[in-house]
Structure 1
Amino acid sequence: MGVTIKDIAKLANVSHTTVSRALNNSPLIKEKTKKKILDIANTLNYIPDYHAKNLVLQKSHTIGLFFTSMANGTSPSFLVDSIRGVSKVIDVQYNLFVRGIDDYDDYTYINNKRFDAIILMSQSDRDNTFIYNVVEKGIPLIVLNRQVDDSSIINILSNDKEGAYKAGEYLIELGHSHIAIIEGIEGFKSTQQRKEGFLNSLIDHNVSIRQEYMIQGNYDMQSGYEGMKALLRLKQPPTAVFCSNDDMAIGAMNAAFESGLNVPNDISIIGFDDIELAKYTTPSLTTVKRPIEKISMTGAEAVLSLMKMNKDDKSMLQNKVLINTELMVRQSVKSRSSM
């Protein structure tokens, strides 16, 4: 049997309550007594019973990282970057629990006995029911990736609208005027933001918006492939295509190759996200870098700060943080005049 608090108390000639306070760095104990108790604990190789401690403190030492869905609309690269970013910040003393909201029929098991805090990588307005369940139960919460119109909830997200605008503007500057878009999942906030940014770039530069150039995708390679096939069947196919994520852009490139076209000599393709694979496609994919790992790291830092604050201090944190995107110019886009 291991060393217990009672063993340390006996040797230090103090109560076990005093030992507990010393081990938990309580200000209610003199420094001299604290040092004496800690020295004895170190000499005896005392290992705290974290399970018992958690029960006393009503802490689970678990932080939840939730996604709208892990099966639909969450690409493997998006998932990996999100988890990697959070893991870089959260100390090993915490367990990281990763799950999709759509795995739950109800939210009975989402409570403050199971979770010390929750980070939500939100992709849809449908997540609001989950969000307000978490808030109602008093669990510290940070929402990433989507703006929630509630000043009491902290949002950290990329400026997708600005990034998509840059993508459209870049194609226009290179002389393209027949520009199509393959959109993301219908109902996702990111789909809406990227479409708005892209269309705004066309409007601001007096480029015609053609309904047949707007194709619904699903954020996966297959929908990018099928979307490009549909565009190439048009009487007047586009000379450039903006895909709302890189997975669809890769699918679109494959469809172009299969149709005997060269990217970018015959058709230019630009993506969104800047996944790791984007640098290694042939040709390398021009895309908008959306720093998911940085967003996740910032979210993890915010949630750790939130856990240490009392209610009055929470107003010190910004309720909305926008992380800038960056246009990554590679080889999948070419000037219209040189095509």
Structure 2
Amino acid sequence: MVTIKDIAKLANVSHTTVSRALNDSPLIKPETKRKILEIVSQLKYTPNINAKSLAMQKSYTIGLFFTSITNGTSLSFFVDTVKGINSVINEEYNLFVRGIDDYHDFSSIYKRRFNGIVLMSQSEVDNAFINHVRDQNIPLVVLNREVEGQSIVNILSHDREGSCHAVNYLIKKGHNDIAIIEGAKGFKSSLERKQGYLQALIKHHIPIRNEYMVKGNYDMISGHKAMEELLSLKNPPSAVFCSNEDMAVGAINAIFAKGLNVPKDISIIGFDDIASSRYTNPSITTVKKNIEKISQIGAEKILKMVENQEVMEEKIFVETKLIFRKSVSERK
């Protein structure tokens, strides 16, 4: 196996000079760097990451943690998060992905193991994890949930504003009997989206009906079950705001199973804008929450922190956008 010492001997330089060339150091002459890289290419040399980690005292690992991967995290949400992070983090780093609820304690999470951590936070339950990471002096970026009273980089979207716009649109279309299928219990996004729903109703002086607020769990099964519950009411709603897209898909299937039509009989609006929502029948009108963009920004910030570029405490909001498709109709 080819080593740095072999390359140094062929290039007639020290192994330190070879290491600098491989790390694109400005402390080496361009001509020397070119010569070394040509030899590296000819010999098909691959750096030993473990040895490099020991030498640099870096693990070259970025942790991506979710509140839970198995409970309340839809497949599309998970994929968009990983895609966003992975598009920024280069091949020099390993991406380690886990759910916080996989851990009995956090003793295995320490600085020598993680150069930085990105947390896709969905619940206040995560606060113990946040405190542990900060105590370990591991660079941390928190996505998706606003974290109060912490000096951290926090990137999130206006969920409340987005859901308020969605319900305002339903009201503009003539709907007054508007239900909500809520998100997973304990998730901050569930609360924010419900608050936006209520805010729109209050603004337009529409009575709030408890039977129109049904629990879901951010998956298709709970959306289907919640919609069945709404359809069993004496006066079913004419429109339903679903707190995420997977539940909207489940709700649409429940409506068709009862011999009804979307949007002719009941209008549906979702949240998140997953890729498949434009291909359902009908395609789903939704609030686009750009999880991929939020994750990309988070990855950019954590790399700057890991590479010792100073990043100040900040809160970044990524705007939501209402996407008009075919699942909402005018109420006649």
Instruction: Name 1:322's counterpart in structure 2.
Output: 317
Question: Aligned-pair distance for 1:330?
Answer: 0.9
- Choose 122-131 or 226-235, whichever is displaced more: 226-235
Question: Aligned-pair distance for 1:9?
Answer: 5.1
Task: Describe the SS at the equivalent of 1:150.
Answer: coil
Instruction: Name 2:171's counterpart in structure 1.
Output: 172
Instruction: Name 1:77's counterpart in structure 2.
Output: 76
Instruction: Name 2:93's counterpart in structure 1.
Output: 94
Task: Describe the SS at the equivalent of 2:65.
Answer: strand
Question: Aligned-pair distance for 1:173?
Answer: 0.7
Task: Describe the SS at the equivalent of 1:241.
Answer: strand
Instruction: Name 2:331's counterpart in structure 1.
Output: 336
Q: Does 1:43 align with 2:39?
A: yes
| 1-structure distance, mates of 2:22, 2:282 | 59
| 1-structure distance, mates of 2:11, 2:329 | 77
| 2-structure distance, mates of 1:118, 1:201 | 36
Instruction: Tell me the number of residue pairs that the alignment of Structure 1 and Structure 2 aligns.
Output: 329
| 2-structure distance, mates of 1:146, 1:140 | 17
Question: Aligned-pair distance for 1:40?
Answer: 4.5
| 2-structure distance, mates of 1:21, 1:240 | 63
Deviations 1:233-255 (A, max 9, x none): 11111111111011111111111
Going from structure 1 to structure 2, the CA distance change for 1:23 and 1:206 (only over 3 Å counts) comes to: same
Instruction: Name 2:273's counterpart in structure 1.
Output: 274
Q: Structure 2 matches for 1:205-216, cutoff 5 A? A: 205-216=204-215
| 2-structure distance, mates of 1:67, 1:292 | 13
Question: Aligned-pair distance for 1:169?
Answer: 0.2
Q: Structure 2 matches for 1:1-339, cutoff 5 A? A: 1-5=1-5, 7=6, 16-17=15-16, 20-21=19-20, 23-24=22-23, 31-32=28-29, 35-36=31-32, 39-40=35-36, 42-43=38-39, 45=43, 46-309=45-308, 313-315=310-312, 319-337=314-332
- Choose 42-51 or 290-299, whichever is displaced more: 42-51
Output the aligned Cα RMSD: 2.0
- Choose 255-264 or 186-195, whichever is displaced more: 255-264
Question: Aligned-pair distance for 1:39?
Answer: 2.1
Question: Aligned-pair distance for 1:111?
Answer: 1.3
Task: Describe the SS at the equivalent of 2:311.
Answer: helix
* Counterpart contact for 1:144–1:296, Cα < 8 Å: yes
Question: Aligned-pair distance for 1:10?
Answer: 5.1
- Choose 210-219 or 34-43, whichever is displaced more: 34-43
| 1-structure distance, mates of 2:148, 2:16 | 46
* Counterpart contact for 1:271–1:288, Cα < 8 Å: yes
* Counterpart contact for 2:11–2:35, Cα < 8 Å: no
| 2-structure distance, mates of 1:11, 1:265 | 76
Question: Aligned-pair distance for 1:223?
Answer: 1.1
Task: Describe the SS at the equivalent of 1:69.
Answer: coil
Letter in 1 for 2:144: N
| 1-structure distance, mates of 2:257, 2:46 | 63
* Counterpart contact for 1:146–1:189, Cα < 8 Å: yes
* Counterpart contact for 2:117–2:139, Cα < 8 Å: yes
Question: Aligned-pair distance for 1:309?
Answer: 2.7
Tell me the TM-score normalized by structure 2. 0.93
Question: Aligned-pair distance for 1:24?
Answer: 4.4
Going from structure 1 to structure 2, the CA distance change for 1:42 and 1:168 (only over 3 Å counts) comes to: same
Deviations 1:298-335 (A, max 9, x none): 1111111121235xx332xx511111111111111111
Moved over 4 A (4+): 7-27
Stretches of structure 2 that go unaligned for 5 or more consecutive residues are none
* Counterpart contact for 2:263–2:328, Cα < 8 Å: yes
* Counterpart contact for 1:12–1:37, Cα < 8 Å: no
Tell me the TM-score normalized by structure 1. 0.91
Question: Aligned-pair distance for 1:11?
Answer: 5.9
* Identity between Structure 1 and Structure 2 (%): 57
Going from structure 1 to structure 2, the CA distance change for 1:210 and 1:309 (only over 3 Å counts) comes to: same
